[in-house]
Amino acid sequence: MSIALGVLPIALLFLGFPIFLVLLTAVTVALVFLMHLPLAALHQNLFGSINAYALLAIPYFIYAGELMGRGSVAKRLVDFVQAGVGSVRGSLGVTTVGTATIFGAISGVSAAAVATIGKVMYPSMVRAGYPTSFSAGLITAIGAIDIIIPPSIPMIVYGAAAQESVPRLYAAGIVPGLLLALVIGGYVIVRAWWGGFGKGEPFDGARFATATLRGLWALGAPAIILGGIYGGVFSPTEAAAVACVYAALVTRFVFRELTLDEIVEAAVATVRFTAQILIIVSCAGVFAWILTVNQVPATLVAWIQHLEVSPWQFLLVVNILLLLTGCFLDPLSSILLLTPLLIPIARSLGIDTVHFGIVFMVNLAIGLFHPPFGINIFVAQSVLGIDLKQIYKGIVPFVILYLLVLVAITYVPQISLIGVRLFMG
């Protein structure tokens, strides 16, 4: 059994097989050759794994982000944040951080944030005398914040895999997300002051008012999503559906940017991305079921208890494991492969699964822009059109900052849990 559920999937994964096929092959081999269960269980579990209302939020949030990202939303948000930042040193860099944070509250798709914000901010930063590698590094790294700030697609997948409440996870992501934004924003100011670049324009009340008016419709999306969920008006899935309708109406009738055909095209892109994710969710559901039936998580828990591992040691090992995994695998696949194994151990050690989820997200966020294979690096390279070496060089300080925040979030659970107490009572 250990060959079917351990060696085989790892071998196929390294051979570059599609992740759903890796899981499905392991499951099929285990079911057909090693277990004496009716094969109808295969279909039942494939179907049952995505027969869940909460998972509807995945395509809905992706679609809302697709619609909002196709028009001038990013530019409006940039103008709004920039007008508010005023004469702060490194104002364009701080604007990039602020815009990515707000964009994260609309989209939840990290690569989209890098592409959308990078296109607007990178040329302005370089023109204003910001070092090329610093600008590229900032844009590549800050996009990763989107999977920590709600609404985050990986959080929905984690919620499904760990059977944890998505609103609680979303509430827990707010403070760590803002903490990361503050730390990176602070670093940008210090770096700009130290390097003598990025002098901002003085704050202008009239300009700020105009930018706020122009950005109001774009700012409405996060207000609807977060206000709706924590005001008790909608469930996360309903909030996502309302955000889609809002995004379609605003981009079609207010901004007059998208045609009906483009709205359908955005839905087609959403269908492709959703299918890519959900086929893995479905197969991972069967894989997790097979693991449970064979008592693999229970055996792991007993082994960890036997080793008398303390929670901090476990979290340290998890951080290293997730950082390594994040370098090679996309966040959603990492979540689906590792959550069924790690959650029972975390529970047995008394670690809050919401806090654990946020640790998961920050690790995977780092993996998104960690050299050599972080996907955001390649998105930035393609969108910004610069050399990979420049991006690698620019990323280093941001990797260090993210790691520092990760240590704080890992060992101070209150950073994650304060949001749950504030928003969920």
* Chosen residue from 178, 267, 300, 407 binding another protein by CB under 8 A: 267
**Residue in this structure with the two tokens 């759903």, named with its chain if needed:** 20
* Chosen residue from 37, 213, 268, 422 binding another protein by CB under 8 A: 268
* Chosen residue from 37, 216, 223, 275 binding another protein by CB under 8 A: 275
Alpha-carbon distance of 276 to 268, in angstroms, equals: 13
Read off the DSSP letter of residue 351: -
How many chain residues touch another protein (CB under 8 A)? 72
Q: Does 273 bind another protein (CB under 8 A)?
A: yes
* Chosen residue from 30, 94, 97, 244 binding another protein by CB under 8 A: 244
Alpha-carbon distance of 334 to 80, in angstroms, equals: 36
Q: Does 43 bind another protein (CB under 8 A)?
A: yes
Applying CB under 8 A, the span of 89-97, 173-181, 229-237, 305-313 interacting with another protein comes to: 229-237
**Residue in this structure with the two tokens 């559906």, named with its chain if needed:** 241
DSSP string, 396-416: HHHHHHHHHHHHHHHH-THHH
Alpha-carbon distance of 32 to 4, in angstroms, equals: 11
What is the CB neighbour count within 10 angstroms for residue 104?
A: 29
Query: Could you tell me if residue 374 is left (phi over 0), alpha (psi between -120 and 50 degrees) or otherwise beta?
Result: beta
Cβ 39 to another protein, closest distance in Å?
Answer: 5
Residues 140-179, interacting with another protein (CB under 8 A): 147, 153-154
Residues 394-423, interacting with another protein (CB under 8 A): none
Binding mask 44-83 for another protein (x = CB under 8 A): x-xx--xxxx-xx--xx--x--------------------
**Would you say 141 or 277 has its CB closer to another protein?**
277
Q: How far apart are the first and last CA of the chain?
A: 45
* Chosen residue from 4, 5, 9, 20 binding another protein by CB under 8 A: 20
Residues 299-358, interacting with another protein (CB under 8 A): 328-333
Alpha helices (H) along 196-330: 205-230, 236-249, 260-293, 296-307, 311-328
Q: Does 241 bind another protein (CB under 8 A)?
A: yes
